[in-house]
Amino acid sequence: MSNKENTSEEIDLGQLFKLIGDGINKLFRFIVNFFKGVFHAIILFLQFTRKHFLKFVIAGVVGVAIGWYLDSSVQPIYRSSMIVEPNFNSSQQLYNNVEFYNELAKEEAYKTLAAALKISDKEAETITRIEIEAFSDENQKLKQFSNFVATLDSVSRSHISYESYLENFNNINAKFHKIELSSTNATVAKKCQKTIVRSIENNTYFNTQKITNDVNVSLSESTVKEQIQQVDSLKNFYQELKILELKRPERSTGTSINLASDNTNPDRSEITLLDKKMSLNYEIQRINQQKANTENIINVISDFPDKGGLVNDFFAKRKVLLPIILILLTFIGLLLFAFNRYLKNYSN
């Protein structure tokens, strides 16, 4: 019985190794056939290109010639950028205004655009595009996330992460924004800057928000300054007490004044006052920074330049795009012609 069992096990192992060997052979044949197919396809492509090379060259030369003519007949485009920081949740209104200007430029409603931007009709006709986008990097987003978390309670903080914050992050929520104006007039962007900014500053709601903020900042500043005066008065009072203590005779039987407890350092009260004054000075610095940041409804971080930069994108030039397009169209046309000829001869 044992000899029969050993023989059956050897047969099963032999079949198993045979199946494994057949599988490996099939895998190698598949890999070899795949690379053969890729090599064959590359050879066919090179043969096709070699056969019609002159046609591709003619298409490229014609495209360069036409593109060169079109580029020389079209006026150059100048691009200007401005970085702004909206305050009092005015980002949405700013986006709406810029999108409105851009729609007018697209629809060639130059009279309306000129009236909106307070420029002449001829200057409005030179504007081709006005766009706005968020100007924010990872560091700025991280700072905004920290400021946002600081306003939440402990329960809400435990349910929010930086990844979930980024998923719901909107471009309007960014701190800085870039307004970009393209025109055939290099100086028109600078003339539009004041109007774009004032379109937000003339809004009644944002003006009310700014006035309220100015009042609150002034109230906080006066309160902190008053606290500093009180701290200075207390500090002077402690110093006078120390002087009186030093002048008092060693064996005087008069009443002594001791503001500190028995187990504390007598100078600790003054150290506490110094710490308090330092924190109040930091608060004054914070208030001054807040005043500077909220002085305007729209803070202009970077103005439009006096003269815009010439748009010189290589792949935006017609003398580059047209040859590529014509060569691709020629390739597709020849490929379709060859495929049609193959279908006609397929039955043979």
Whether 99 contacts 75, CB under 8 Å: no
pLDDT in tens, 300-339: 999 999 888 887 776 667 888 888 999 999 999 988 888 8
pLDDT digits over 50-59, tens only?
A: 888 898 899 8
State yes or no: pLDDT of 15 exceeds 80: no
Q: Is the pLDDT of residue 258 over 60?
A: no
Q: How far is CA 34 from CA 21, 24, 28, 46, in A?
A: 20, 15, 10, 19
Q: Residue 118: CA atoms inside 13 Å, Cβ hemisphere, count?
A: 10
Report the pLDDT value the prediction gives residue 195, as an integer from 0 to 100. Answer: 92
- Quick check: helix, strand or coil at residue 38? helix
User: In the prediction, which pLDDT does 253 show?
Assistant: 52
Cα distance between residue 141 and residue 174, in whole Å? 7
Q: Which has more pLDDT, 74 or 250?
A: 74
User: Which pLDDT value is given to residue 183?
Assistant: 92
Cα separations in angstroms, 91 against 67, 175, 232, 269, 304:
41, 9, 43, 48, 19
In the predicted model, is pLDDT for residue 264 greater than 50? no
For range 70-99, the mean pLDDT: 88
Mean per-residue pLDDT for 221-246? 83
Kindly tell me the burial class for residue 71, based on how many C-beta atoms sit within 10 Å of its own C-beta (0-12, 13-18, 19 or more).
Answer: middle
User: Could you tell me the sign of the dihedral formed by the alpha carbons of 180, 185, 187, 189, in that order?
Assistant: negative
Map residue 133 onto helix, strand or coil: strand
Q: Residue 263: pLDDT band by 50, 70, 90 thresholds?
A: very low
Per-chain mean pLDDT for the chain: 82
Alpha-carbon distance of 239 to 300, in angstroms, equals: 49
Q: At residue 310, what are phi and psi to the nearest 5 degrees?
A: -70, 125
Q: How many whole angstroms separate alpha carbon 292 and alpha carbon 326?
A: 57
Report which listed range, 60-74, 156-170, 235-249, is most confident.
60-74
Q: What is the pLDDT of residues 130-140, one digit of tens each?
A: 999 887 767 77
